[in-house]
Amino acid sequence: MPRHVLLVEDDPGDAFLVGELLAEVAPDLGVTVVTSVEEAVRGRHLEGSDCVLLDLGLPGYQGLDGLRALLRADPGAAVCVLTGLDDEHLGTAAVAAGAQDYLVKGKVDGPLLIRAIRYAVERQRAETSVLRLREEQLVAAESARLERGLLPTPLLEGSGVRATAFYRSGRARAVLGGDFFDAVRRPDGAVHAIVGDVCGHGPDEAALGALLRVSWRALVLAGVPEERVLPELQRVLVSERHEHTLFTTVSTVGIAGDRARVRLAGHPPPVALRPGPCQLAPPVGLPLGVRASAAWEPLDVDLDPDWALLLYTDGLIEGRGPVPDEPLWPEGLLGLLADERDGDLPGLPSRVVERVQALNGGPLSDDVAILLLSPDGTDS
């Protein structure tokens, strides 16, 4: 049931008549009367009104100009227009222009008037619900497109390596951020993997992350030498970023036989889970996009037969840790991974994220992307 109506009417007699008709059938309904659209907008009367009764014959307006001015001020207003006896065609045009209904002066009584107001409010609510649903569908579709770009299916068939991926958006964001990952098998049999994070959290950053992920995959599959992949990826970032200060951190791993080569560009280092969790320590180069002459020196690591490597983005370690007022940091993550050493390997990423969130006291503020690499067929 509407609680308040705004009547925009410059004729005192017509305003009095409308007020009396409403008082007869809805005595608890509040009515505010203003004489112009400008007064309605300046006085902020639209904000507290469930429905607007608008006279189309206001001085200074032609045709539907008054309605258009009111809807520009409040596109979501439920509006019933009032027309003269010889302007019914104008009422139908007003509905096409955004009004919910029209009433002809001299042909309306109290019950008809209150029914029109109720219907106008309900129709406007229904239209608003449909619009919100459509917006949610568009957001979901956009998120799905970004997900395909940022969170692909690894191409590891025949490699002997399994990749377990995990992604969770940060608090209060429905769409993905700029975190991305990928893992592919090169034509020579070597496996290459990447985890990255574009600074920022908007849709532009997410789109850039998707572009960088696809570009990285193309470079690797094209057989670009491993030491040239990050320099070429930086060229892509610099040419495509929408702000010249935008940078991206990445961690890459190349696996050939029982050896792995790790490179870092301003990113948290991977963790070797076996025989016990330990943080790999390659030289940390600058993030991509900071300096054209940047270099990223590798660290070569011998892999145990039951090796496992965990790559992750910094959202995992920047929430609160076990020490009061201190983030988890990589050291705290190593402790959690040590506690989980006896659990099944595929479920490790989700278990760790749940424990990190428990320490944080709720959802993490930043996105989390995790890529767990291990020999194919290893379940525990």
Cβ-Cβ contacts under 8 Å for 245 (sequence gap 6 or more): none
Q: pLDDT by residue (tens digit) across 211-236?
A: 999 999 999 999 999 999 999 999 99
pLDDT of 291: 95
Does 170 share its domain with 37?
Answer: no
Q: How many domains does the chain have?
A: 2
Nearest to 271 by CA among 181, 335, 182, 367: 335
The amino acid present at 118, given as its one-letter code, is R
* DSSP string across 300-364: EEEPPTT--EEEE-GGGTSSB-SSTT-B-HHHHHHHHHHHTTTS-STTHHHHHHHHHHHHHTSS-
Does 116 share its domain with 229?
Answer: no
Does 163 share its domain with 298?
Answer: yes
Does 204 share its domain with 252?
Answer: yes
Q: pLDDT by residue (tens digit) across 301-324?
A: 999 999 999 999 999 999 999 988
Taking the C-alpha atoms of residue 261 and residue 302, their distance in angstroms, rounded to an integer, is 9
**Inside any domain, residue 231:** yes
Does 112 share its domain with 213?
Answer: no
Question: Are the C-beta atoms of residues 146 and 167 closer than 8 Å to each other?
Answer: no
Pairing of β 179-185 and β 271-272: unpaired
Domain of residue 251: give its range: 151-375
Q: pLDDT by residue (tens digit) across 161-181?
A: 999 999 988 754 445 568 899
Q: What is the CATH number of the domain that holds 337?
A: 3.60.40.10
CA–CA distances in Å: residue 194 to residues 150, 152, 207: 11, 12, 17
The DSSP symbol for 85 reads: T
**Inside any domain, residue 336:** yes
Does 125 share its domain with 176?
Answer: no
Does 196 share its domain with 106?
Answer: no
* Backbone dihedral angles phi then psi of residue 226, each to the nearest 5 degrees: -55, -40
Does 89 share its domain with 220?
Answer: no
Mean pLDDT of the chain: 89
User: Residue 270 in 3-state DSSP?
Assistant: coil
Encoded tokens for 340: 């989980």
Predicted confidence band at 151 (pLDDT cuts at 50, 70, 90)?
confident
Does 118 share its domain with 193?
Answer: no
**Which of 46-50, 158-162, 268-272, 336-340 has the weakest average pLDDT?**
46-50
In the predicted structure, residue 281 carries a pLDDT above the cut 60 = yes
